[in-house]
Amino acid sequence: MIDLHTHSRCSDGQDTPEELVSAAAAAGVTVMALTDHDTINGLPAAQTAAEKHHIKLIPGIEISVQGGRELHILGYGVRPDDEGLQAFYRENQSFRRQRRDRLLDMLNKAGIPITLEDICRVNNGKSSGRPHFARTLVELGYADSVQDAFDKYLATPSFYQIERPKPLAWEGIAMIQRAGGVAVLAHPYTLKLEEAPFRSLLEELISYGLRGIESYYSKHTPEEIACYTALAEEYGLLCTCGSDYHGAAVKPDILLGSGCQNSLLEAGVPEEEILSRLYEEMEKAKHLL
């Protein structure tokens, strides 16, 4: 069983890298990628845990870029000590702190007396992303669930007015390439694009160096899977498979390795073919450095 899209507490997941790998092993995952948002800080600990549990770990990252609220680029095979990605993380942390403070102010003005201390209690003092805010709003009784918190406060026009700066798409892909990685378009269904504009975006990203599409994803329908795999074949791209696991407290409907209600497994994912193509692209990426 493979899962090439997971998150730890180093970004907006619930578990430490060690806990995440342990949970993956318990779920039967044999090959996984840690793809935290905009950081590679969890990779060393995850690698150590993976060796302990006899899991093959592919070092990864997920970078949010300009071009759409949900335009994210996954990077596979990146170097865990890459200085370019570390510098990006440091700069991005400053932007995230600014957004955090502005979001606190926005919620306070809306009559919700949430504090930084409340957020830190939920995230153990780590990065304060939207899932951490959502879980805090649930804990304080201002939302019934994480999704309810997003719907009411964290995916609204008011929130997007305070969104942090993001790199351009070509910059995100270039960062991944300079770190020795392979760039793949994450969860394409979230872009909510019809075929023509999606093709246009895909061709643009390919011109920057995109090498794959996350065709098999927890919330893709069979029709979407068929569409994205066909497009991948047409454009000579690889397909990847990921649950986008964050933890039961963040995304309770998504399980490691199997997605939503075994949706990844039901799709008949050709795991050996996916890994073979990905390893081939990762090997090419190393030789391009």
Taking only Cα atoms into account, the Rg of the chain, rounded to an integer number of angstroms, comes to 18
Environment class of 178 (CB within 10 Å of its CB; exposed 0-12, middle 13-18, buried 19+)? middle
Q: How many CB atoms lie within 10 A of CB 188?
A: 23
- C-alpha distances (whole Å) from 29 to each of 13, 155, 239 are 18, 32, 18
We find that the CATH architecture of domain 89-160 is Orthogonal Bundle (1.10)
- Average confidence (pLDDT) per 10 residues, the chain, 289 residues: 95 92 96 96 96 98 90 97 93 81 89 88 68 87 90 84 84 97 97 94 98 96 94 97 92 91 87 96 87
CA distance 35 to 7: 6
CA distance 136 to 124: 12
pLDDT of residue 146: 86
Q: How many CB atoms lie within 10 A of CB 189?
A: 17
CA distance 256 to 258: 6
Structure tokens at 115: 């504090």
CA distance 235 to 198: 13
pLDDT of residue 159: 79
Q: What are phi and psi of 230, to 5 degrees?
A: -65, -40
Q: Which of the 8 DSSP states describes residue 28? A: T
- Residue limits of CATH 1.10.150.650 in the chain: 89-160
Q: What are phi and psi of 143, to 5 degrees?
A: -150, 150
Query: For 2-88+165-287, which CATH class?
Result: alpha beta
pLDDT of residue 189: 95
CA distance 149 to 223: 29
Question: Nearest Cα to 116, choosing from 140, 91, 133, 139?
Answer: 133
CA dihedral for 195, 210, 205, 263, sign (positive or negative): positive
pTM of the entire predicted model: 0.85
The residue count of the chain comes to 289
- Residue limits of CATH 3.20.20.140 in the chain: 2-88+165-287
Residue with tokens 């507490």: 9
Residue type, 109: K
Q: Tell me how far the alpha carbon of residue 216 is from its chain's centroid.
A: 14
